[in-house]
Amino acid sequence: MNISLNYNQFYQGTQQIQNYGSDMALKKDTLVKYEFSTTDKDGNKVMDKMSKEETIQVMNDITAQYGDNVIVEFSGDGLAALADFKKGIMDRPLSQEELEEKAAKDAAFQKDIIHFDRSVSYLPEYSGIFSADKAVAAAVEKSSKKEQAYVYNIIRQNFLIENSSSMTEEERQANISLGMEKAEYAAENFISDGNRKSFLTAMESIAKLARAGKSDSNGNMDYGVNKPSYLGHGSSLVYTTNTVDMMRRMDSSAYEEFQKIGSRKDGALDALKYLSDWYISAVKKNPSIVDIYERRSEQYVSALRN
């Protein structure tokens, strides 16, 4: 294996996780995944298995790119040498002292970690393009939770990531391409014939939206459309206007004040009242403000499709 190879091809995505750990300085909130497999999904050779030394170097190189709040997860048969090495160590009988130390560490870890239901990954993740969101929701409506999670995690982890500070723009674009490959796999393996075409078209639309996204100086992404607000689910999904996003895009000064109010201790109710008063006032001043806001998003999405 050539250690100087581009690690980006093995990048599998980033996932936000709930903070855990009792020490604030050691808390983790992000999981980054890499998979070093010797063949691709079609069986074509990608790399050789790594030696223990090569594996450690690769893991150190990649881990060094991320901050202390990130857990880097490595997988794949290319790491077999390290797995065998670790297995050899664990095969050695532990002394009573080592067993007690291990038990104490395990107990402390289980006490610190916040257990949460990872199955919520099957919950919908929307783009803000209503036609695309409804097509995806309808396509996976009768799928298993595992299959739904697979699809919605493409949108979360490959397309519309919230923050890109841990990757270059080239890496972000490559992550989007990987997402489309995953979408094609889903279409071929568990999306029904009747929904396959509309599903892929929808995922391509979301991928285009993702490619056009812009990040600020902190890596926070803006994809240029309103954050979706829907009622119902699956094929019965119904669109409703997102008032907070309308304020953000149509009245920036009011949105800044709304944020200030909301950031205060116990300011949630005051912020809600401010939002309600703003909406009533905005519609009185300009009865067409909702139509204008929604038309802007529609025009932006239409431009991406052309």
C-alpha 220/C-alpha 300 separation (Å) is: 20
Residue with tokens 């097509």: 135
Tens of pLDDT, residue by residue over 87-101, are 443 445 666 776 777
Positive or negative, the CA dihedral 107, 109, 111, 115 is negative
Across 9-23, 64-78, 128-142, least confident range: 9-23
| Percent of the chain predicted with pLDDT > 70 | 74
What DSSP designation does 303 have?
A: H
CB count in 10 Å sphere of residue 58: 22
Strand 214-215 to 221-222 pairing: antiparallel
Instruction: Report pLDDT for 83.
Output: 41
β-strand partners of 72: 32
Tens of pLDDT, residue by residue over 13-24, are 887 765 544 444
Instruction: Report pLDDT for 98.
Output: 66
CB count in 10 Å sphere of residue 99: 11
Instruction: Report pLDDT for 241.
Output: 60
C-alpha 39/C-alpha 35 separation (Å) is: 11
Mean pLDDT, to the nearest integer, of 279-303?
A: 73
Contacts of residue 195, Cβ cutoff 8 Å, sequence gap at least 6: 135, 138, 139
C-alpha 33/C-alpha 268 separation (Å) is: 36
Instruction: Report pLDDT for 22.
Output: 40
Task: Give the chain's mean pLDDT.
Answer: 77
Tens of pLDDT, residue by residue over 166-210, are 889 999 999 999 999 999 999 999 999 999 999 999 999 999 999
| Cβ pair 296, 288 in contact under 8 A | no
Quote the pTM value.
0.47
Task: Give the total residue count for the chain.
Answer: 306
Mean pLDDT, to the nearest integer, of 80-89?
A: 44
Q: What Rg, from alpha-carbon coordinates, does the chain have?
A: 23
Instruction: Report pLDDT for 294.
Output: 67
**Domain spans, the chain:** 7-112, 120-225, 245-305
User: Comparing C-alpha atoms, which of 165, 180, 169, 174 is closest to residue 29?
Assistant: 165
User: Comparing C-alpha atoms, which of 17, 21, 1, 19 is closest to residue 9?
Assistant: 1
